[in-house]
C-alpha cells in the first residue's frame, strides 16, 4: 500500500460540516484514527480508505471469507464478461441502486468516475489502477478529452477495453480506488467533494454525516442500502494520535474497537490482561516488512555481499522483541495470505559466521561501511534500523543511519539514489503483480532505489501480467520470486505481521479484513445492547 498522502485539508480547524444529527448514539460503533484523513475522496488519497470503503461501493468487491482469504464478488456490477482475447470487459450493472442524494446509479456514473480519475485536472494519486485501459495514457497526458476504452452501451451496461490484456484488472477494480461516484453530485460539489458531508455522495452502507477536523468524524447508516439496512446506526471516529490515550479511551468505554496497529506499545498489556486477552481479534496482514538494497552503491552491487547481508540479520529476534512474535518470517516477495504465496521457498538462515566469511571472500576482510536511510520522526523504523545496525556490526559492516525529512527521502528514492532502507508493503489487491511488479519491474526498480538489473526478469514480468492462464501465471511468478530473492538477493525479506484488534464485548461479527488493513468495511458488524 502506498505512502500516506493527505490532501485538501482546506477546512478551518474544528469547523463542523454537518449533514445530519450530531453526536453518536449507543448504536454507533466507536473507533479511532491516529490523525485526520483530510479527504474522503479515494482518488486523492493513497492510504486513508476507511471512509471510502464504507460510503462508496465498487463494481467488484473483495469480500473477506476469513482472515487472510478473500474472493471477488459482484458489487455495483451484477456480472462481468471478458472477451476471449482478454481485452474487453462487459459489465452488467445492478438496477435500482440509489446514491445518497437520491440519484439512480447508472453506467454514466462509472464512465464519469473513471474518466475523472484519469483526467489530469483531477491530480488523482491512484491512476495506476486504471492506466491499463485503452486511451488512458492519452487522457492523462492531456492529449484527449475522454478515455477511448470506456464506452456506455446503455444505462446498465458498460464496456471497458484495455490497451493490452492485464490479468489483475478485475482485482484492481475491487480496491478503494475503484469507488464509484455520482456525476451530478460530484460536479456540483467541486473541490468540496470528500470534505463537506452534505456534498459527498455515494451508494455505500453508510453516509458521511459530520466532520469536525482533527477531532471527530461520523458516518450514518444508509437505510436504503441495496444490500440491506446496516445493523449499526453508524460509525463514530475519534481522532486520537496518542497510543496511551487510545488505550484509556478503550478501557473507559469510549472506543468499541482498539486497533493495536495504532497502539503497538500496548500489545503486551492487552495480550497479558485477563479481562481483554479473550477479546482480541486477529488476522494476517497480507504484507511484508523488508530491506531494499540499492545495487548502484558499492559494495551492494556484489551479489555475495547481498546474500551475506540476508544471513547477517536475525529476523526472528526482531520479530520477537519489537513485534511480540506476532507474525511469520518471510523468505520471498509474496507474503502469507497473498495469491501465489509459496510456503516451500528455501529458508534464509541466520548465519553470522558464514556471512562474515562471505564478506571477506568478496574482498572485504575488514568489513565495509554502508548507509541506511529513513524518514525523520519514525521511532518504530529507528528501532529496527538500530537493531540491524548492531547485528551487522557483528559481521564487520559499519552502518550509518541517516534520517531525512519525508520530502527529501521520497524525492531521493524516486531518483534511484536512496541508500538501503527498511519499509513495508500491504496488499492493495490480491495478486502477486501488486508486489513483484511494484518493486522489480524495469520501470519501478529505479524509482524505488533498487536499481535491479535482471533483464530476463523484466521481460517476464511484462509478459506474465498479460496472461489469462492463472495457474501458469502463478508458476512463473514463483520462479521469478526465487530468482529475485534467493539467486539475486535483490532485497532482504523480514516478516509479515498479525494485525490485532481489541473489542468491547458488545461488538459481534467483527472480521479482520482479508488483507489485514486497519481500513475496512463495517457493514455486517453488530452491537449487542
Contact between residue 355 and residue 312 where contact means Cβ atoms under 8 Å apart: yes
Sheet holding 216-221, edge to edge: 28-33, 234-239, 216-221, 206-212
The residue written with cell numbers 482485482 in the block is 171
Cβ-proximal residues to 39 (8 Å cutoff; 6+ apart), any chain: 6, 7, 8, 9, 45, 48, 194, 195
* 6 φ/ψ angles, rounded to the nearest 5 degrees: -95, 135
Q: What angle do CA 91, 97, 101 make, to 5 degrees?
A: 125
Cα separation, 47 vs 175, in Å, equals: 11
Task: Determine the pLDDT at residue 69.
Answer: 84
SS3 at position 295: coil
CATH 3.10.105.10 intervals, the chain: 287-497
Q: How far is CA 422 from the centre of its chain?
A: 17
Q: Go through the chain and tell me how many residues it has.
A: 529
pLDDT < 70 positions in the chain: 1-25
From the number of C-beta atoms within 10 Å of its C-beta (0-12, 13-18, 19+), residue 108 rates as middle
Task: Determine the pLDDT at residue 16.
Answer: 41
Task: Determine the pLDDT at residue 195.
Answer: 96
Task: Determine the pLDDT at residue 17.
Answer: 41
Domain 28-234+505-527 falls in which CATH fold? Dipeptide-binding Protein; domain 1 (3.90.76)
Q: Tell me the H-state helices in 87-198.
A: 107-118, 136-140, 169-173, 183-189
Which among 490, 499, 503 is positioned nearest to 517, based on CA atoms? Answer: 499
Q: What is the pTM of this model?
A: 0.84
Cβ-proximal residues to 59 (8 Å cutoff; 6+ apart), any chain: 75, 76, 77, 80, 91, 93, 110, 173, 174, 178, 180
Task: Determine the pLDDT at residue 263.
Answer: 83
SS3 at position 287: strand
Which among 121, 61, 91, 42 is positioned nearest to 430, based on CA atoms? Answer: 61
Task: Determine the pLDDT at residue 446.
Answer: 95
Cα separation, 269 vs 253, in Å, equals: 17
Contact between residue 148 and residue 448 where contact means Cβ atoms under 8 Å apart: no
State which CATH number among 3.50.50.100, 3.30.70.1450, 3.40.50.970, 3.10.105.10 fits the domain covering 287-497. Answer: 3.10.105.10
Task: Determine the pLDDT at residue 43.
Answer: 95
Task: Determine the pLDDT at residue 379.
Answer: 86
Average pLDDT across the chain, whole number: 92
Task: Determine the pLDDT at residue 4.
Answer: 31
Amino acid at each position: 500500500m502506498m505512502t500516506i498522502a493527505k490532501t485538501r485539508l482546506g477546512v478551518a480547524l474544528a469547523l463542523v460540516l454537518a449533514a445530519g444529527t450530531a453526536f453518536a448514539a449507543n448504536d454507533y460503533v466507536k473507533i479511532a484514527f491516529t490523525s485526520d484523513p483530510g479527504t474522503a475522496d479515494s482518488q486523492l488519497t493513497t492510504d486513508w480508505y476507511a471512509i471510502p470503503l464504507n460510503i462508496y461501493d465498487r463494481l467488484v468487491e473483495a469480500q473477506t471469507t476469513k482472515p487472510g482469504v478473500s474472493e471477488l464478488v459482484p458489487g455495483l456490477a451484477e456480472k462481468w464478461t471478458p472477451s476471449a482475447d482478454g481485452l474487453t470487459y462487459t459489465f452488467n450493472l445492478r438496477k435500482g441502486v440509489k446514491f445518497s442524494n437520491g440519484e439512480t446509479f447508472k453506467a454514466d456514473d462509472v464512465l464519469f468516475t473513471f474518466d475523472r480519475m484519469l483526467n489530469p485536472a483531477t491530480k488523482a494519486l491512484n491512476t495506476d489502477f486504471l492506466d491499463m485501459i485503452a486511451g488512458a495514457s492519452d487522457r492523462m497526458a492531456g492529449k484527449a478529452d475522454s478515455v477511448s476504452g470506456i464506452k456506455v452501451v446503455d444505462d446498465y451496461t458498460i464496456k471497458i477495453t484495455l490497451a493490452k490484456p492485464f490479468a489483475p484488472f478485475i482485482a484492481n477494480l475491487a480496491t478503494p480506488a475503484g469507488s464509484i461516484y455520482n456525476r451530478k453530485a460530484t460536479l456540483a460539489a467541486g473541490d468540496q467533494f470528500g470534505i463537506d458531508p452534505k456534498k459527498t455522495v455515494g451508494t455505500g452502507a453508510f453516509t458521511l454525516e459530520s466532520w469536525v477536523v482533527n477531532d471527530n468524524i461520523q458516518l450514518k447508516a444508509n437505510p436504503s442500502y441495496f444490500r440491506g439496512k446496516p445493523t449499526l446506526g453508524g460509525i463514530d471516529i475519534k481522532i486520537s494520535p496518542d497510543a496511551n490515550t487510545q488505550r484509556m479511551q478503550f478501557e473507559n468505554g469510549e472506543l468499541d474497537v482498539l486497533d493495536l496497529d495504532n497502539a503497538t506499545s500496548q500489545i503486551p498489556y492487552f495480550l497479558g490482561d485477563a479481562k481483554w486477552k479473550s477479546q482480541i481479534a486477529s488476522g494476517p496482514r497480507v504484507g511484508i516488512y523488508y530491506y531494499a538494497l540499492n545495487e548502484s552503491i558499492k559494495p551492494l552491487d556484489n551479489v555475495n555481499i547481498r546474500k551475506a547481508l540476508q544471513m547477517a540479520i536475525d529476523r526472528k529476534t526482531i520479530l520477537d522483541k519489537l513485534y511480540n512474535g506476532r507474525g511469520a518470517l518471510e523468505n520471498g516477495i509474496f507474503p502469507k495470505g497473498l495469491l501465489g504465496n509459496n510456503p516451500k521457498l528455501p529458508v534464509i538462515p541466520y548465519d553470522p559466521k558464514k556471512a562474515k566469511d562471505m564478506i571477506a571472500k568478496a574482498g572485504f576482510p575488514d568489513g565495509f561501511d554502508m548507509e541506511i536511510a529513513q524518514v525523520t520522526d519514525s521511532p518504530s523504523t529507528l528501532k529496527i534500523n538500530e537493531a540491524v545496525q548492531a547485528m551487522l556490526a557483528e559481521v564487520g559492516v559499519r552502518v550509518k543511519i541517516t534520517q531525512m525529512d519525508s520530502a527529501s527521502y521520497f524525492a531521493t528514492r524516486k531518483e534511484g539514489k536512496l541508500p538501503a532502507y527498511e519499509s513495508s508493503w500491504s496488499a492493495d489487491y490480491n495478486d502477486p503483480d501488486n508486489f513483484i511488479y511494484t518493486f522489480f519491474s524495469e520501470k519501478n526498480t529505479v524509482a524505488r532505489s533498487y536499481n535491479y538489473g535482471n533483464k530476463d526478469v523484466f521481460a517476464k514480468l511484462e509478459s506474465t501480467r498479460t496472461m489469462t492462464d492463472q495457474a501458469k501465471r502463478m508458476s512463473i511468478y514463483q520462479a521469478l520470486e526465487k530468482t529475485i530473492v534467493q539467486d539475486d538477493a535483490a532485497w532482504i525479506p523480514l516478516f509479515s505481521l498479525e494485525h490485532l484488534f481489541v473489542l468491547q464485548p458488545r461488538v459481534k461479527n467483527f472480521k479482520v479484513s482479508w488483507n489485514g488493513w486497519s481500513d475496512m468495511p463495517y457493514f455486517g458488524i453488530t452491537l449487542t445492547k
